[in-house]
A and B are shown apart, each in its own frame.
Chain A
Amino acid sequence: MTTSTRDRRPLAPQRLVPLQLWERFGTLLVNVLVIGLLIVYLFPMVYMVATSLMASQQLGDRYAPPYPAQPVTIEYEGKTRKLLQVPFEDGVRELALVKPGPRASEFIDPEHPEEGLIPWQGSWRALPGVYRFHLTWDNFSTLFKSVRFPEMIRNTLLAGLITTVAVLVSSLIVAYGFARYPLPGGNLLFFVLIATLLIPEKVTLIPTYFFFVRVLNWNGSWLPIVLPFFFGSALYIFLLRQNFRSIPIEIEEAAMLDGAGPLRTLFSVVIPQSWPVIITITLLNFFFIWNETRQAALYLSTRRDLVPVSFGIQNFQSLSPTQNLLQASALIILLVPILVLLLTQKHFMRNLVITGTER
């Protein structure tokens, strides 16, 4: 830093990066940094995608490449031979194994078979194989045969539809009450609403389970899972109330003057102005139902035909599938929420920001 810049900016505080340098290279630096971070952040997903496209034999081979690939073989004297990477003094050659032996083996060069058998000292088992990039889609077809996807997806979508409609209608009405009307006890009920978010699930679990299963005999049914959605969700009520309070009240007052009741005002005036937050809540609820396993494990473990998709995949693990099948199953249930997020990103990302920060 020269003295002249100091003279021009007498108030400049100590800095880590000289300002002019930052102005010039900052853009490049920020973008490289973010993309680098993203690659590291999502790296385990790369493993999942790659493994789900591998054949089982590649998993057992320590020397196999990390990308989905297939060992290269050739036909020689009527037999299929595996290509191995054989080290010689003048470099590594890709040769086909013809006569395997414990200490010495004989190979043939597939490019120059006329050279004849090439002897090599050492254990062929320690030699890495030759692999070429190849995608194995069999894992997915095996998976679709052993897991009843259409049924599970139908269950999940049906539950998603019912719970979303139920929770939206009830939460909208309750949130409108909280946003626009005085309530007995002042703000106390609103604090109770927030406090219910903090209650650990286990405290209510045993009595609720006994009530549903022993009293109402609702074992093996979606009813105990769906019913609470008809009474609103504290989180969604909170998000909706914040949103309603940010809407100017004048139009509602005009509707009230025209004789509209609170419900009519809510549905004809307030909701048309609240679509962004309603869509955000719909998405939140979709992700919630798609990922649901806990309640399903409690109430649906006796009914294989009713299970939702995440729980069905969780059960699939109990068959101890190979790693490539397991990763394929993970990839399938993860793809749907990611696609939904990517399709709605503009909406979802912006509205979660807005609904989250306003107090």
Chain B
Amino acid sequence: MTTSTVPLPPATQPKQRRIDRRKLTGTLLISPWLIGLLLFKLLPILASLGISFTNFHMLNPGETRFTGLDNYVRLLHDETVGYVVFQTIAMALTSIPLQLVASIGLAAILASRRLKWPGFLRTMFFVPSIIPSVAILFMWFGFLDPNTGWLNRFILEPLGLMGTGGIYSDAARRLVFSLNSLWAIGPGMLIMLGAMQGIPREIEESARVDGAGPFYRLFSITLPMISPAIFFALVINLISAFGGVLLLDRGNVFSGSQSPFDDYISHQMFSQFDLGYATALAWAFLVLVLLVIIFLFSTSRKWVHYEDLGR
């Protein structure tokens, strides 16, 4: 955008030369990032692609040779791949709606002008989102312990429900995963809260005067007006569900339950040392993530209302 750039003063300079000079300055300014992009993203990604066409194995690197599409053919016939893709998508489909609904609901209550100590309460709800995953893992480990944990003792058994068999059982894993995804809604909640507070007060007041109750106002005014924030939070949650960078990265001890596909890649890398196959899996994962993101952005025009946001 030309309106937001600094125009250089001398009118004697030809316009084209001036723009070229400014482009050069801009390129120089962003050059640290460009070098980093080349060194830590583009070259490794291309090298990864190269490795994925070989049988590179940590234990006998001397025997590495070009194997063409063998790894990708193997990937298509690997039953575990189908299973982990299904699991990853299933987990994303349960955790993301859960996170979105929870963060919108929480933001709606925390945005209320009736709230006492709003700053303190918002911070307390944000606390679980910043604590290290190691601490969270230990905590769930103890909380779900079949003998000494509190889940069986104070929640499941008094309710007459069967206890879980500890953190390694399937039920407990699923429970930890959903609870843990609820413990990461802080940034999403703040984004929604900011958007809700950005809604002009007159709109809400006039709806109130017309007799609209709090629930009616939430669904007919607040939600449509914060749709850009919902979209932003959706993208963040989606990226974290697929093992990418989070807005608040707490370190990924939970990667196993966060994204089973990511876990399977780790297994091939660090337990099987089958690096050729592992990089092929990683590349397939990259393509999957990109497809999901492209799909999301292409549908966003239909339901995200940018022009409505008072800016």
A15-B212, A193-B33 given as contacts; is B44 within 8 A of A31 (CB)? no
Q: For the complex, what is the distance from the CA of A286 to the CA of B145, rounded to whole Å? A: 32
Q: For the complex, what is the distance from the CA of A326 to the CA of B167, rounded to whole Å? A: 15
**Contact pick for B47, options A62, A207, A291, CB 8 Å:** A207
Whether A33 sits at the interface, judged by CB under 8 Å, is: yes
Quick one: which of B175-199 are within 8 Å of A by CB? 179, 182, 187, 190-191, 193-195, 197-198
Contact A41 B26 (CB under 8 A): no
Give the number of A-B contacts (CB < 8 Å): 324
**Which one of A72-80, A126-134, A147-155, A170-178 is at the interface?**
A170-178
A208-B40, A357-B229 given as contacts; is B248 within 8 A of A284 (CB)? yes
Whether A253 sits at the interface, judged by CB under 8 Å, is: yes
Contact B139 A327 (CB under 8 A): yes
A182-B26, A200-B262, A334-B135 given as contacts; is B39 within 8 A of A41 (CB)? no
**Contact pick for B25, options A181, A253, A337, CB 8 Å:** A181
Quick one: which of A10-69 are within 8 Å of B by CB? 11-17, 19, 22, 26-27, 30-31, 33-35, 37-38, 41-42, 44-45, 47-48, 51, 59-60, 62, 66
CB neighbours (8 Å) of A294 from chain B are 251-252
Q: For the complex, what is the distance from the CA of A47 to the CA of B115, rounded to whole Å? A: 28
A197-B244, A249-B6, A357-B228 given as contacts; is B135 within 8 A of A331 (CB)? yes
Contact A310 B39 (CB under 8 A): no
Q: For the complex, what is the distance from the CA of A197 to the CA of B293, rounded to whole Å? A: 12
Contact B6 A341 (CB under 8 A): no
**Contact pick for A353, options B32, B191, B286, CB 8 Å:** B191
Whether B90 sits at the interface, judged by CB under 8 Å, is: no
CB neighbours (8 Å) of B120 from chain A are 345
Residue of A nearest to B306 (CB): A359
Contact A353 B193 (CB under 8 A): yes
Chain A proximity of B230: nearest CB distance (Å): 11
CB neighbours (8 Å) of A16 from chain B are 213, 215
**Contact pick for A34, options B109, B140, B266, CB 8 Å:** B109
Q: For the complex, what is the distance from the CA of A11 to the CA of B216, rounded to whole Å? A: 13
CB 8 Å contact bits of A215-240 with B (1 = contact, 0 = none): 00000000000001011101101000
Whether B122 sits at the interface, judged by CB under 8 Å, is: yes
Quick one: which of A281-300 are within 8 Å of B by CB? 284, 287-288, 290-294
Contact A202 B32 (CB under 8 A): no
Residue of B nearest to A202 (CB): B282
Contact A30 B109 (CB under 8 A): yes
CB neighbours (8 Å) of A323 from chain B are 142, 145, 148
A180-B5, A203-B283 given as contacts; is B116 within 8 A of A342 (CB)? no
Contact B48 A206 (CB under 8 A): yes
A13-B211, A357-B194 given as contacts; is B262 within 8 A of A293 (CB)? no
Q: For the complex, what is the distance from the CA of A314 to the CA of B115, rounded to whole Å? A: 39
CB neighbours (8 Å) of B212 from chain A are 12-13, 15
**What count of chain B residues pass the 8 Å CB interface test?**
116
CB neighbours (8 Å) of B239 from chain A are 197-198
CB neighbours (8 Å) of B17 from chain A are none
A181-B26, A198-B289 given as contacts; is B36 within 8 A of A356 (CB)? no
CB neighbours (8 Å) of B198 from chain A are 357
Whether A159 sits at the interface, judged by CB under 8 Å, is: no
Whether B112 sits at the interface, judged by CB under 8 Å, is: yes
CB neighbours (8 Å) of B115 from chain A are 30-31, 34
Contact B138 A326 (CB under 8 A): yes
Whether B125 sits at the interface, judged by CB under 8 Å, is: yes
Residue of B nearest to A356 (CB): B191
Whether A278 sits at the interface, judged by CB under 8 Å, is: no
Residue of B nearest to A41 (CB): B125
Quick one: which of B223-250 are within 8 Å of A by CB? 228-229, 232, 239, 242-245, 247-250
Q: For the complex, what is the distance from the CA of A15 to the CA of B275, rounded to whole Å? A: 60
Whether A184 sits at the interface, judged by CB under 8 Å, is: yes
Q: For the complex, what is the distance from the CA of A211 to the CA of B33, rounded to whole Å? A: 19
Contact B128 A287 (CB under 8 A): no
Whether B156 sits at the interface, judged by CB under 8 Å, is: no
CB neighbours (8 Å) of A349 from chain B are 119, 122-123, 126, 190
CB neighbours (8 Å) of B48 from chain A are 203-204, 206-207
Whether B171 sits at the interface, judged by CB under 8 Å, is: no
Q: Can you offer 28 A-B residue contacts whose CB atoms are under 8 A?
A: A13-B212, A41-B182, A45-B139, A174-B29, A176-B29, A184-B23, A198-B289, A199-B45, A200-B262, A202-B243, A202-B266, A202-B281, A203-B45, A204-B45, A205-B282, A206-B51, A207-B51, A230-B32, A231-B35, A252-B6, A292-B251, A330-B136, A341-B123, A345-B123, A346-B119, A353-B194, A356-B187, A359-B306
Residues of A within 8 A of B (CB): 9, 11-17, 19, 22, 26-27, 30-31, 33-35, 37-38, 41-42, 44-45, 47-48, 51, 59-60, 62, 66, 170, 173-174, 176-184, 189, 192-193, 196-208, 211, 228, 230-232, 234-235, 237, 245, 249, 252-253, 256-257, 262, 265, 284, 287-288, 290-294, 310-311, 313-314, 317, 323, 326-327, 329-331, 333-334, 337-338, 341-342, 345-346, 349, 352-354, 356-359
